[in-house]
Amino acid sequence: MMRHVGIVAESNVIAIEWKNNQLRLLDQRVLPGEVSWVEHHHVSQVVRSITDMVVRGAPAIGITAAYGVVLAARARFKESPTDWLRLIQLDIDALAASRPTAVNLFWALERLTAVCNCTEEGVDPEGVLLAEAFAIHESDLAANHAMGQLGAEVISAEGEAGTYVMTHCNAGALATAGYGTALGVIRSAHAQGLIEGVYADETRPWLQGARLTCWELQQDNVPVTLNVDGAAAQLMATGQIGWVIVGADRITANGDVANKIGTYGLAILAQYHGVKVMVVAPTTTIDMNLFDGEDIPIEEREASEVTRFAEFDVAPMGTAAINPVFDVTPSNLIDVIVTERGAVTAPFETGIAAIMNKDNLH
């Protein structure tokens, strides 16, 4: 295959917009059948959209929450110019409770809270908060492009390990400011002739791989083939898959990774078949307050997401179901973690500490 290292692909997919002084989110619940935008005028609508998965993906949730604080500030300052700082904390707490696993949510809220605390009572905070939300949005997009290039360089350096990659869930433009983490690497690698195409796990129960990853890659003309989650082992056994490339919702100090349920099993299969595993995530996803994955809170959603598909029952009435949204992949099953500050390999604890100690950290 021809290699053109340095080529950067773009993406036609946008999921988050600040337009006409309001937040607009691409409704990911109805893709690919319908391309529909949800408008948000109040922070309560933002909380609901995060909880109900109108928006999903750790970086995108963080960006959305930042804009949610802007909307909260607008309402609270209008309500009480001299007491908005106390009142807005109620909204920030509601945003923090919307999804418990994605650390980017809390990182973004901490940044916006710091701006609030530096703004005097009686001074309208909306402008400075909006500037901070824009900065978070723009920095995530820049980080995605940096990770895309760094991840492609890792694949190039490893040589011909297989002409296809496999991904799980959706870690693309839909889950970020644009371009994507795992799909950012895939976009860059494909543009440079390093891979021929992608196998996308369907990712039960919400089918983010089938509905979102396949749709997103089709928009950018990246060849993608859908497979049921249970087919991953058989596909790896063919020898055509060189990498499993996934995103992350939280990474601990030792390199353990929380990602969409099914990632842990995929990493075990990859190790058995000699397939390398790459995790791609910005440093905002790294939680240095947690040493390992045992302390990561794992969100569990309603059983009906498993027992029903759309409006149809797929299990007998009264069937018990467990629905953890994430699992934790131990660092010893991961070959490389790619961030915007560099690619880290084992020992992960040392490498992660080094990149997190770089200058210009927030």
Lowest mean pLDDT among 160-164, 185-189, 231-235, 299-303: 160-164
pLDDT of residue 11: 81
Nearest to 179 by CA among 154, 147, 215: 147
Identify the band that residue 359 occupies on the pLDDT scale cut at 50, 70 and 90: low
Identify the band that residue 9 occupies on the pLDDT scale cut at 50, 70 and 90: low
pLDDT of residue 223: 97
Q: For residue 345, is pLDDT > 50?
A: yes
Tens of pLDDT, residues 29-63: 999 999 999 999 999 999 999 999 999 999 999 99
* Burial readout 146-172 (b: 16 or more C-beta within 10 A, e: otherwise): bbbbbbbbbbeebeeebebbbbbbbbb
Q: Are strands 342-344 and 336-339 parallel, antiparallel or unpaired?
A: antiparallel
Active site residues per annotation: 249
pTM comes to 0.91
Identify the band that residue 311 occupies on the pLDDT scale cut at 50, 70 and 90: confident
Do 336 and 343 meet the contact criterion of CB atoms below 8 Å apart?
yes
| Separation between Cα atoms, residue 82 and residue 66, nearest integer Å | 22
Nearest to 80 by CA among 124, 45, 38, 114: 124
pLDDT of residue 161: 61
Tens of pLDDT, residues 132-188: 999 999 999 999 999 999 999 999 998 766 689 999 999 999 999 999 999 999 999
| Separation between Cα atoms, residue 49 and residue 43, nearest integer Å | 10
Burial of 188 (0-12, 13-18, 19+ CB in 10 A): buried
Task: Name the packing angle between helices 103-117 and 84-96 (round to 10°).
Answer: 180
Side chain identity at residue 274, one-letter code: G
Tens of pLDDT, residues 197-230: 999 999 999 999 999 999 999 999 999 999 999 9
pLDDT > 70 fraction of the chain, expressed in percent and rounded: 95
Do 103 and 284 meet the contact criterion of CB atoms below 8 Å apart?
yes
Q: How many CB atoms lie within 10 A of CB 226?
A: 16
Which residues are registered as beta bridge partners of 26?
Answer: 37
- Helix, strand or coil, per DSSP, at residue 193: coil
- Tokens coding 64: 């959305």
Q: Give the chain's domains with CATH numbers.
A: 16-138 (1.20.120.420), 148-356 (3.40.50.10470)
Identify the band that residue 310 occupies on the pLDDT scale cut at 50, 70 and 90: confident
Which residues are registered as beta bridge partners of 198?
Answer: 165, 224
pLDDT of residue 275: 97
Side chain identity at residue 171, one-letter code: A
Mean pLDDT of the chain, nearest integer: 94
Sheet with strand 22-26: strands edge to edge: 16-19, 22-26, 37-40
Q: Are strands 164-167 and 241-246 parallel, antiparallel or unpaired?
A: parallel
| Separation between Cα atoms, residue 215 and residue 229, nearest integer Å | 17
Do 287 and 110 meet the contact criterion of CB atoms below 8 Å apart?
no
pLDDT of residue 37: 97
